Amino acid sequence: MADELGRKWDRCLADTALKTATGVGIGIVFSVLFFKRRTWPVSFGSGLGLGMGYSNCQHDFRSPYLIHGHVVKDQ
Amino acid sequence: MLRVCLRGVKATAQKSSGRIRLTNVQQCRVYTTGESSGASRVVAAGLLTVTGGIGGTIIYAKWDHKFRAAVEKNVPYSEWLLGLALGPASQDAGLPIRKQMESIQPPSMMEKQMRTSKAKSEKKLKETTEPALSQPTQNIQAEASAEATQIISAISEVQSIPAPCDTEPAAAAAAVLQETESAGAAEPLRERSAEEVAARLAQQNQDEKDIIASLSARLDDSLASSAKATLQAIGAQEAALQAITQHTHKLKEAMETEGPTEEKSTQWKDLEAALADRTTSVNVAKTALVKANEALDSLKSVIDKSRGLKITAARPLILAAEENLHKMVVDLDKVVSKVQSAESEAKIVAQYTELVNEAKQQFQREVSSLTPEIQANWKGLTGKLSTDDLNALIAHAHRRIDQLNRELAEQRVRGQIHMEAALEQQRAEDQKALDKAVGTATQHVKEEARLEQERKLADLREVIEAEMRTQLRRQAAAHTDHVRDVLKVQEQELRAEAEQELSSKLLEQETRYRQLTQEQLDDFTLDMNAAYARLKGVEEAIDSHVEAEEEARKAHRLWLSVEALTYTLKTASAESPSMPLEDAAEAVRASCVDSDFALALTSALPEESLKRGVYSEASLRARFNSLRSLARRVALIDESHNTLYQYFLSYVQAALLFEKQQEVPPTQLRSEDLDPFKLLSYASYCLEHGDLELAAKLVNQLRGEARRVVEDWLTEARLTLETRQVISLLSAYANAVGLGTTQAP
């Protein structure tokens, strides 16, 4: 149980880095292809990537506390 | 008023503001004046309202008293003010009710008073009978009449007071009986026996009879004496009457007849004799009368005395005596009146004779003065006288006749006058006599009426006496009935009591006998039981010896197996758990097949420990130390706070917060001790000092992510603790069993 936290952190950081990089890349691509080499797609993409990574990370840390509800239909 | 105030304030404010706007220099003065006029108006209005309120209150209080009372109650000093204005409260409302109550009370109170007064009077009567009875026996007649009155009154009392009536007649009857007691009655409620009462009554009757006898004797004596005296007096009076009439007759005769001298002289002699007779007889009559009066007076006194004694039976005697007395008095008076009339007639005749004598003497004197030589006896001188003398005599005679005629006429006139005077005198005397006669007649009539009344009273008294006797007889009959009933009831009660007593005594005796027999039986059974028990005890001792030996062997085996189990715990190394406890537990189970407690305990060993083994305390301690830092790092994270930012904050907190490495945990955890850092330091301390249980408890207080982090460690710690507890219990049990079975040499 104590190791879980460490593992989570590893996953989280890796995931975030990956996503950010991916975002940056896609941003560059888009910037080059569609937006005349503006910087905003890059920052947008990086932000997108960071955000996704952050969200995933948070979700991962929250997962033990999340309650999953099921809709019960009256038969 | 409020509005006025407000208006005033507004006006003031407006004015003041207006003034400020217009003039700044004269601000202050105008300010004050405007304000003062407004304020004065406000004050005036306020005063007016207050006075109006007070006046209205006073007027309404005058009209409505309840309002006034309410105001007085609620507002202090208002009663002073209202009293000043209206005068003291009339309190009309309270009085009629009180009067009604009072008027209602008196009738009831009066009734009670009447009843109490009646009871009191009854009591007083009864009380007075007792002191009355203490007088000497000469007042037995008083007693008798008092008896009668009190019996009558007691009967009347009983009828008028309804409630405590059942015992009253008995009490009254008892009181009646009491009243017949004589002077020596010290305890008034003690009832005399019938014989005593009869004796008393007989005594009373005897005494009465004696007195009556003496009284009648006395009365008879006095009657006889008075009768004799009266008869004597009457006789004397009659004789006197006779003498007087005789005398008057003779006197008349002497006056009228002009017989010869010898006859006259004899007549005069007779007359004198008659006179002497008359005087003597009159004297005799007088003395006799006096004696008779004396006798009558004595009789009267005797009668009065006897009447004073108040014996009812003597009354007819008294009455008869009185009647006799009255008759005698009447007769005496009649005779006396007769005598008096005769005397008056005699007086008249005497007067007449006197007059005649006087005339005769006058004539004689005249004749002798005229013819001195002619002697008294001039009738014999007819032949001796001359013609001159005869003529002179005739002339004298004529003159004398004239003179006599004149005198006669004069005398007639005078006689008329005298007649009238005499008539008047006679009339007066007649009147006097009439009055006297009327007086005596009225007296006689009165006396007769009184006697009649007395006779009637005596009759009535007899009748009443008879009636009272019948009532008394009835009372006595009722009393005997009541006494009979009471005696019957008493007899029944006493019989019941006696029977009850007898039965209770019998019961007692029976129970005592039964008790004794039972005791004997009990003793015998006790002895038998004791002997049997001893035999049984001996047998059991022998059996128990055998058993004890068996038990001892088993206990040894158990103990050995438990020791083995304890040893397996020690096989845990620093990082790895101990050996699985399965075999040792099996061995324990085998060695304690008949002990449910041990079996239960062995089954209570957790599965994990059996399969896998338990960690040692040292390994747990080491693990905890590493866990501690992790727990510190996630101290702020729980269900609600679990964003990454919270994680960041938690990490910062862990980096910046320093707590004691080990801290002594308090005996009671307070709310501020539930801080994870504190808890961890407490737990460290406990672990360092070997108290895994307390450390586990403290760690159990962690919440949130920190809790999740240390969950594994906690379960391991629990496992170890459980296993250790079970094993310690088993060893304790084995020790106990072993100790129990070991026998001292």
ipTM attached to this prediction:
0.88
Q: Identify which of A1, A2, A58 has the shortest CB distance to residue B643.
A: A58
DSSP B449-480: HHHHHHHHHHHHHHHHHHHHHHHHHHHHHHHH
Average pLDDT over residues B430-451: 91
Distance CA B259, CA B270 (A): 14
Instruction: Evaluate if residue B21 carries a pLDDT over 60.
Output: no
| Triad B650, B656, B658: Cα angle to 5° | 110
pLDDT at residue B136, rounded to an integer: 47
Instruction: Please state the pTM of the whole predicted model.
Output: 0.37
Question: What single-letter DSSP state applies at residue B259?
Answer: -
Distance CA A5, CA A61 (A): 8
- Are A65 and B710 within 8 A, CB to CB? no
Instruction: Evaluate if residue B249 carries a pLDDT over 80.
Output: yes
Helix (H) or strand (E) holding B9: helix B2-22
Distance CA B249, CA B253 (A): 6
pLDDT at residue B280, rounded to an integer: 87
Determine the residue among A12, A65, A66 to mutate to test chain B binding: the one whose Cβ has the most chain B Cβ atoms within 10 Å. A65
- Are A1 and B710 within 8 A, CB to CB? yes
Distance from CA of B676 to the nearest CA of A (A): 16
- Are B627 and A2 within 8 A, CB to CB? yes
Percent of chain B predicted with pLDDT > 70: 77
Distance CA B414, CA B408 (A): 9
Helix (H) or strand (E) holding B298: helix B261-309
pLDDT at residue B650, rounded to an integer: 92
Distance CA B706, CA A68 (A): 22
Alpha-carbon separation of residue B644 from A57, A61, B648, B652 (angstroms): 8, 8, 6, 12
Distance CA B726, CA B136 (A): 116
**CA nearest B236: which of B295, B296, B274, B291?**
B291
pLDDT at residue B182, rounded to an integer: 43
**CA nearest B168: which of B115, B208, B218, B212?**
B115
pLDDT at residue B162, rounded to an integer: 45
- Are A65 and B639 within 8 A, CB to CB? yes
- Are A2 and B634 within 8 A, CB to CB? no
C-beta separation of B569 from B578 below 8 A: yes
Q: Which residues of B270-283 are buried (b: 16+ CB within 10 A; e: fewer)?
A: bbeebbebbeebbe
Top pLDDT among B264 and B166 is at B264
Helix A2-33 to helix A40-62 angle (10° resolution) is 160
Q: Identify which of A2, A61, A62 has the shortest CB distance to residue B709.
A: A2
Average pLDDT over residues B622-631: 91
* 3-class SS string, B696-732: HHHHHCCCCHHHHHHHHHHHHHHHHHHHHHHHHHHHH
Binding-face residues of B in 603-642 toward A, CB within 8 A: 626-627, 630, 634, 637-639, 642
Alpha-helix runs per DSSP H in B371-386: none
**CA nearest B701: which of B670, B735, B674?**
B674
Determine the residue among A3, A5, A59 to mutate to test chain B binding: the one whose Cβ has the most chain B Cβ atoms within 10 Å. A5
Distance CA B247, CA B148 (A): 64
**CA nearest B223: which of B324, B134, B304?**
B324
Most confidently predicted of A47-61, B7-21, B599-613: A47-61
C-beta separation of B684 from B662 below 8 A: yes
Q: Which residues of B732-742 are buried (b: 16+ CB within 10 A; e: fewer)?
A: ebbeebbeebe
Instruction: Evaluate if residue B688 carries a pLDDT over 90.
Output: yes
Tell me the pLDDT tens digit for each residue of B139-195: 445 555 555 555 554 454 444 444 444 444 444 444 444 444 444 444 446 666 778
Q: Does B596 touch chain A (CB under 8 A)?
A: no
Q: Which stretches does DSSP call E strand in A16-67?
A: none
Helix B261-309 to helix B194-256 angle (10° resolution) is 160
Alpha-carbon separation of residue B450 from B216, B327, B439 (angstroms): 21, 13, 16
Most confidently predicted of B144-158, B255-269, B290-304, B305-319: B290-304
Least confident of B4-18, B457-471, B651-665, B683-697: B4-18
- Are A1 and B711 within 8 A, CB to CB? yes
- Are B643 and A1 within 8 A, CB to CB? no
